[in-house]
Every structure is written in structure tokens, then in C-alpha cells.
Amino acid sequence: MATKKAVKVRHIPQRMCVGCRQTLEKRNLIRLVRTSEGVKVDLTGKIAGRGAYLHDQRSCWDKGLKGPLAAALKTELKAGDLESLRQYMELLPSTGPNPAEGNSSGLL
């Protein structure tokens, strides 16, 4: 009798958005990192330092910048950091599809 090969399930890292507290795949979130120069947006996910994650939606950034982001990074957000993060936030869509709901249109 032939033996069946086990299908290896690939591990997908999960992270929580500090704005809305939803857990999603790491690649669907934007990483912010605390460095010695301040808080920076880490699009590569490879900058050394303590990190936190936010969705790419302004609503999550609004909530996150009010306090949860600073708590997650265990630091105080300085005025310069807040200004640069708000400038980045302006580039994001104001609303978008809820990532937890998936693609409701049925199209890929």
C-alpha cells in the first residue's frame, strides 16, 4: 500500500492592528518602529527596533495616534513623530474594505 505524503501547511504570521485591534496577516498591515531617532514607518518590516502595526486606513491611524500606538511602542510620541506620522496618514485612503470581512464582491 502506498503511503500518503503529508501536506505541509505554511505558517502565516499574524499581527494585531493597534488602532482597531483586529488580528490579520502581517503583510496586510503597516509596521511602525521605535528607533533612537524616533518613530518611523517601516515598509520593509526589517528595521531594528520595537514595532507595532496599523491598517492602511485613516480610521485606524486616528485611533492609534491617540494613545494605543505609543503604548504598544512603550514610548511617548514626540511632536515631530506625530507630524510625520500624520503626513503619512494623509496619503492613506479614508475608508476601505474591512480586511476581516474578505472580498464580498466574489471577484479576486
Q: What is the pLDDT of residues 57-82, one digit of tens each?
A: 999 999 999 999 999 999 999 999 99
Q: What is the mean pLDDT of the chain?
A: 87
Architecture of the domain spanning 14-90: 2-Layer Sandwich (3.30)
| pLDDT recorded at residue 35 | 95
**Which amino acid type is present at position 36?**
S
Residue 43: pLDDT over 50: yes
Residue 104: pLDDT over 50: no
Per-domain boundaries in the chain: 14-90
